[in-house]
């Protein structure tokens, strides 16, 4: 499936000044976040090492803007060398649009034996995503944008889903503050497309302000 026609059809929602402003917000926000959260990041790293053997950080190949691959950073929440087969089947089931049973919400895989005790807590609090602030500093991600998918997810994308690759992927986004795992794959794609078409500094600031209460209240965190 070629994504190029769909990507080319997406209008730019921000001019040159808007892009510079968003990048400035990304650099300032990511640097400040890493500095302020450094005690928490250190505590999480120690907890992961004490809980299970293996590396503290987990790096995974994801697809970013214009389908460019990059290594996303996360705190390791699974046992070292965990198989991805169960997750792949789970994702494919959520992406399937079954008119008889209805589309499934974008929930995380429940009763996942691969997840460690500390990892389960990190996922519940969304702390496992914090190392992606480094990806933001590197310019591979933005503070706000669609989530970066894995290749086997993209292999099953319908044509309209490729609109999300017109912008950098984000640590948080419109989908996360509008329901997260309470929404279906189709609804997620619709919100990502809405973001691409209305993207700007003001919208990014609004989403960032809404992210903290959304995480604290645990809305759609299942």
CA separation for the pair 129, 114 (Å, rounded): 18
Q: pTM score, two decimals?
A: 0.84
Residue 164 backbone phi and psi in degrees, to 5: -65, -15
CA separation for the pair 161, 141 (Å, rounded): 18
Residue 147 backbone phi and psi in degrees, to 5: -70, 145
End-to-end alpha carbon distance in the chain: 31
Write out the chain's pLDDT in tens, 222 residues: 444 445 544 555 677 888 999 999 999 999 999 999 999 999 999 999 999 899 999 999 999 999 999 999 999 998 876 666 767 777 777 777 644 445 666 666 666 778 899 999 998 888 999 999 999 999 999 999 999 999 999 998 999 999 999 999 999 999 888 877 778 888 899 999 999 999 999 999 999 999 888 776 655 444
Q: Any idea what DSSP says for residue 102?
A: -
């Amino acid at each position: 499936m070629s994504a190029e026609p769909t990507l080319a059809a997406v209008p730019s929602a921000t001019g040159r000044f808007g892009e510079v402003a968003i990048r400035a917000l990304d650099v300032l926000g990511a640097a400040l976040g890493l500095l302020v959260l450094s005690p928490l990041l250190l505590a999480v790293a120690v907890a992961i090492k004490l809980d299970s053997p293996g590396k503290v950080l987990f790096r995974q190949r994801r697809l970013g803007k214009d389908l460019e691959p990059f290594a996303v950073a996360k705190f390791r929440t699974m046992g070292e060398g965990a198989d991805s087969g169960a997750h792949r089947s789970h994702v494919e089931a959520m992406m399937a649009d079954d008119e008889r049973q209805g589309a499934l919400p974008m929930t995380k895989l429940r009763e996942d034996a691969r997840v460690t005790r500390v990892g389960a807590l990190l996922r519940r609090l969304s702390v496992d995503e914090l190392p992606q602030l480094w990806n933001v500093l590197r310019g591979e991600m933005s503070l706000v944008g669609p989530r970066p998918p894995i290749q086997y997810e993209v292999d099953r994308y319908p044509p309209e889903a490729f609109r999300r690759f017109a912008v950098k992927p984000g640590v948080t986004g419109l989908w996360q503050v509008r329901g997260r795992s309470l929404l279906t794959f189709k609804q997620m794609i619709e919100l990502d497309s809405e973001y691409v078409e209305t993207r700007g500094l003001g919208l990014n600031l609004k989403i960032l302000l809404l992210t903290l209460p959304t995480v604290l209240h645990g809305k759609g965190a299942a």
